[in-house]
Amino acid sequence: MPLANLFGSKGRLMLSALLISVVIFELAYCQKDGQEQRTTPGRKLSPNKPKLKKPADKGPRAVTAKPKIRAAAPGQTFLTQVLNRKTFKKVGETISVQTGGTLQLRCRGKPVQWNVPSYLEEDDDGRLRIVQHERYGVLTLVNTTGADTGEYTCYPMYCEDTDCRKDYGKAVKVFVFFPDPQELFVPSSDYYEVIQLRTNWPTVLPCQVTSPEATVTLHREFPPAEVKVDGTEISFNIKKGFTIHRPKPYHAGALYCVASLGNLRQSSTKYMLIYVNYPMAPPAPVIQASSSSVVVGENLRVSCTVVGEQDVIVEFTWKYPGQKIERPLYTQESTSPVGGGVARQQSQSVLLVDEVRDVDQGTYICTAQNLQGAKSVSTTVKVVPKAARKP
Ligand SMILES: *[C@@H]1O[C@H](CO)[C@@H](O)[C@H](O)[C@H]1NC(C)=O
């Protein structure tokens, strides 16, 4: 049971962390510049960071209506690649830069912020430099390698006095390939990667190639076979890798990508795909006590039942009055199929209280949890003295 408890609380933690980050993101996005700055990975790359102050509580600001704003008019965000001192090239969706060479991007805005592939942010080895000029920002990456392949984004900032915030609508992105003659795949630090395949949730196998010219195929390790990529069930995107759109149990197993270019043929990191029956909704438990009023010395059973999708694991946790005197918890858990057309199952946990005492009177709470969430239900049990029952 402690293990189940641990799992349950960990799951809840994960869920609440997710919720909290969504909330933070919303706040950041809507109005709180300070928070937005902190939650943005590209933050530390900003050179002359504008002094941030939280806006006074004036509600969401209608930016276009304020006169003091210095920002580019719509459609005026430009991202250019600086080829040499005099040559600038407006970038398209993707560009290729020779490995070992220098990537220089210039983005109009005063100021601008940049987002770079996370690996570059993590290992700051001095190859990346960001400078803000009067009217534009410049990102320079030297001694490039295939590992630098990825998305580079420029966010022009809206500024009002010293208060700046990102303008997400005007962000400009470019995907930069650094074709490496030795490494067709962006190197990974892991020999293999475990990926959860969740029912009906798209799953990405992020085998990223360093060259847009590479041909990439998907393979199963055992039995060895190439996996058919039809563009519907599984699709490939040169900037992302393979996506399994609606995972099914048969997609599970060890998969890897193979890239070929010229005479070179290389395999990616291995992906261990584990299928998880992912429920559509949190469980809906029903609680029932064998009796709402129990005589001292009799036995009490409180059952908590969930009927839900088949093969979805439900974890039960209990809170009961006897807990305060450390009365041990006895439960019986079971799962059984439910008849009828759609494949459903019943999961049940029964809390057993032997020889009820006064301390067992009170509220019994059952929490049922699956990967989508948790729900608690409760019932109250009254304990009556032996004599009271006899008229
Ligand atoms: C780039 O490579 C050159 C030659 O190997 C080296 O001298 C220089 O220090 C490197 N620059 C950075 C910023 O790593």
Q: Per-residue pLDDT tens for 198-244? A: 887 899 999 999 999 999 999 999 999 999 999 999 999 999 999 99
20's enclosing H/E stretch is helix 2-30
Per-residue confidence (pLDDT) for residue 46, from 0 to 100: 37
Number of compact structural domains in the chain: 3
Q: Could you tell me the CATH number of the domain that includes residue 198? A: 2.60.40.10
Q: Which amino acid does the sequence have at 256?
A: Y
pTM: 0.62
Domain that holds residue 209: 192-276
Residues 93 and 118 in one domain: yes
The percentage of the chain sitting over the pLDDT mark of 70, rounded to a whole number, equals 79
Answer yes or no: is the C-beta of 127 below 6 A from any ligand 1 atom. yes
The end-to-end CA distance of the chain, in Å, is: 42
* Closest-lying ligand 1 atom to the alpha carbon of residue 143: 1
Is 43 inside a domain boundary? Answer: no
108-158: per-residue pLDDT in tens? Answer: 887 889 999 988 888 778 899 999 998 889 999 999 999 999 999 999 888
Mean pLDDT of 344-350: 94
Residues 270 and 292 in one domain: no
Is 351 inside a domain boundary? Answer: yes
- CA dist., res. 241 & res. 205, Å (int): 6
Residues 121 and 154 in one domain: yes
The closest residue, in CA terms, to atom 12 on ligand 1 is: 127
Residues 272 and 293 in one domain: no
Per-residue confidence (pLDDT) for residue 205, from 0 to 100: 96
- CA dist., res. 168 & res. 52, Å (int): 18
- Banded model confidence at residue 75, pLDDT cuts 50, 70, 90: very low
Mean pLDDT of 51-79: 42
* Closest-lying ligand 1 atom to the alpha carbon of residue 125: 14
Per-residue confidence (pLDDT) for residue 295, from 0 to 100: 95
The closest residue, in CA terms, to atom 3 on ligand 1 is: 143
Residue 12 to residues 3, 94, 238, 323, Cα–Cα distance (Å)? 14, 40, 36, 22
CA angle 246, 249, 255 (to 5 degrees): 85
* Closest-lying ligand 1 atom to the alpha carbon of residue 126: 13
Residues 111 and 93 in one domain: yes
The β-bridge partners of 122 are none
